[in-house]
Amino acid sequence: MSERRSFFRINENIALEYRQVDEATALQEEPEHLYVNAASLALYAELKKIDSENAALLFQLKNDNRTLGEYLHNINRKIDLVSQQLMSSHMPPALASLPSQVNMSEGGIAFGSTKPIDINSHIALRMTFLPSYAGVVVFAKIIRCELDPHGEYQIAAKFIRARDAQLQIIGQQIMRAQMADRRQHIRD
């Protein structure tokens, strides 16, 4: 099985921003340094990583002391709401109002562009998942750029140097989309 198909893939509308970078930047720098307010994305990713690490503990607490477990769960929801508001306030309004249709997996992303990008070149991607405003900034290497019949370039890129917290957010978004798709199929 090719690496391209070793991950679950989804079609999703996200707020997408990218910029070309040189190879040295992609291999040595942190992608958050390239975007204004991207530190909030790293903070959000770490908060989600902590959530994941604490999920089993919270479940055990709910079993042992339901009241305490519910209280901690509610505090966690409050933190989520504050972080979502922080994320939405730091996202450029143009990105939120004009989401891009992408095909993505934990390994990479495919998207349309009005401009070509050279194969084997590198980009920094800022992806914000709507409506949760969860987002990540990662580097990617261009593996395909083809002109489609509508005059748009179809770009495929493989994530490089993505941290566990970033991949976890992407994976969670993919799972949410798959669950929503299954619910829709059940209703139909």
H or E element at residue 175: helix 164-187
Write down the domain spans for the chain: 3-36+92-187
Q: What is the DSSP letter of 99?
A: -
Q: Identify the pLDDT of residue 97.
A: 52
Percent of the chain exceeding pLDDT 70 equals: 88
Which is higher by pLDDT, 63 or 44? 63
Tell me: domain 3-36+92-187, CATH 2.40.10.220, correct? yes
Q: Identify the pLDDT of residue 1.
A: 39
Q: pLDDT of 120-149, one tens digit each?
A: 999 999 988 877 777 889 999 999 999 999
Average pLDDT over residues 46-59: 82
